[in-house]
Chain A
Amino acid sequence: MYAALWRVLPGPVWLRILLVFVLLAAVLFALATWVFPWVDSIVNNQEVTVGSP
């Protein structure tokens, strides 16, 4: 999977490494902005109150 990604990336090694970091940053940004807040809203089990179910 990741080996295939490496093969698909164009250019010399330094460019590929750069591209990998850019992709990684983009993925992390997307996760923190959209995915994690959504996951948080459905798995939120941080009960802090008494009595309420």
Chain B
Amino acid sequence: MSVRADQPLSEETRCAHRRKRRPRLNVVGIFGELLITAGILVLAFLGWQLWWNDMIMAGQQSRAAAEISQTWIDDDLSSNEPAPAAPEASATVEPAPVDFGEPVVREAPSNAETFAVLYVPRFGEDYHRSIAEGIGSEVLNSSRSGIGHYPDTQMPGEVGNFAVAAHRSANGGGMHLINELQLGDAIYVQTADGYYTYRFRDLEYVAPTAVDVIAPVPHNPDAVPADRFITLTSCNPLLSTAERIIAYGVLEAWQPTSAGPPAEVATVINAQAQG
């Protein structure tokens, strides 16, 4: 109280007060602001990785799949139009399933080459992603494919195991909903030759070292295969790399491109023709 009465002293404290509030260089303050900025940058990166870039890449991968799928259908139409008259007529009427014989098996392509398109209606009505050879980042992190085929595993339709891998989250998240597959769900694989229909059997959770899951007979690397399997692998739990989630399916049917797409994916395939 006595200080307030003293005029010159009051002036002095006001000056001191102002100096304290606005120092020339507040090291602690700047350090604090840098920490806050770093925290916001980390959050921004996660948002970008898991949401923004994920969404953009999913769209790009989807469009790339539609593009190559349509190329195969157009090529097939222009190359052998007169030959498959009977199957084409039957495809429109949708009669009892036609047996197209042994599925056509392609040669394994070179690394990073796109050779198939995956359709999983359980992942979304319009879900389609192209599958490229190899499981390196040039395939799995690519905006053109996103799903990688394990080299040295079998090709679609081949006796043995057609094994593929994709991200669970980020980079397009090709297998985001892999844990929601249910017994009997269709997994379609389209190549330049036609459509392979696999039926989902079961899920499995394994250690990252469990290479046996992609053996020609899963878990039986020495067995001679008699069935045509498909194996999808991704990471588990979501956002973690501690485990792998594995989905198995078995080939049910095969039909050439000229016979038209299976009914369940006809909508998405016909939509891509319009562009």
The residue from A2, A32, A40, A50 contacting B214, defined by CB atoms under 8 A apart: A50
Q: Which residues of B contact A40 (CB under 8 A)?
A: 49, 53
Name the segment of B120-128, B204-212, B251-259 touching the other chain: B204-212
Taking a contact as CB atoms under 8 Å apart, the answer to whether B171 and A47 are in contact is no
**B residues 170-210 in Cβ contact with A at 8 Å:** 170-171, 175, 206, 208-210
Taking a contact as CB atoms under 8 Å apart, the answer to whether A48 and B44 are in contact is no
Taking a contact as CB atoms under 8 Å apart, the answer to whether A48 and B209 are in contact is no
- Interface assignment of B63: CB less than 8 Å from any CB of chain A: no
Taking a contact as CB atoms under 8 Å apart, the answer to whether B210 and A50 are in contact is yes
Classify the interface of chain B: helix, strand, loop or mixed: mixed
What is the CB-to-nearest-CB distance from B49 to chain A, in angstroms, rounded to a whole number? 6
- Interface assignment of B119: CB less than 8 Å from any CB of chain A: no
- Interface assignment of A28: CB less than 8 Å from any CB of chain B: yes
Total interface residues in chain A, CB < 8 Å = 19
Q: Residue on B with the closest CB to A36?
A: B48
A50-B214, A51-B211 as given contacts; A1 in contact with B30, CB under 8 Å:
yes
Taking a contact as CB atoms under 8 Å apart, the answer to whether A49 and B150 are in contact is yes
- Interface assignment of B141: CB less than 8 Å from any CB of chain A: yes
What is the CB-to-nearest-CB distance from B27 to chain A, in angstroms, rounded to a whole number? 11
Taking a contact as CB atoms under 8 Å apart, the answer to whether A31 and B233 are in contact is no
Taking a contact as CB atoms under 8 Å apart, the answer to whether A48 and B140 are in contact is yes
Taking a contact as CB atoms under 8 Å apart, the answer to whether B206 and A48 are in contact is no
A sample of 8 cross-chain residue pairs with beta-carbon separation below 8 angstroms, ordered by A number, consists of: A2-B33, A31-B48, A40-B49, A44-B137, A49-B233, A50-B208, A51-B211, A52-B135
Binding site for B on A (CB under 8 A): 1-2, 28, 31-32, 36-37, 39-41, 44-52
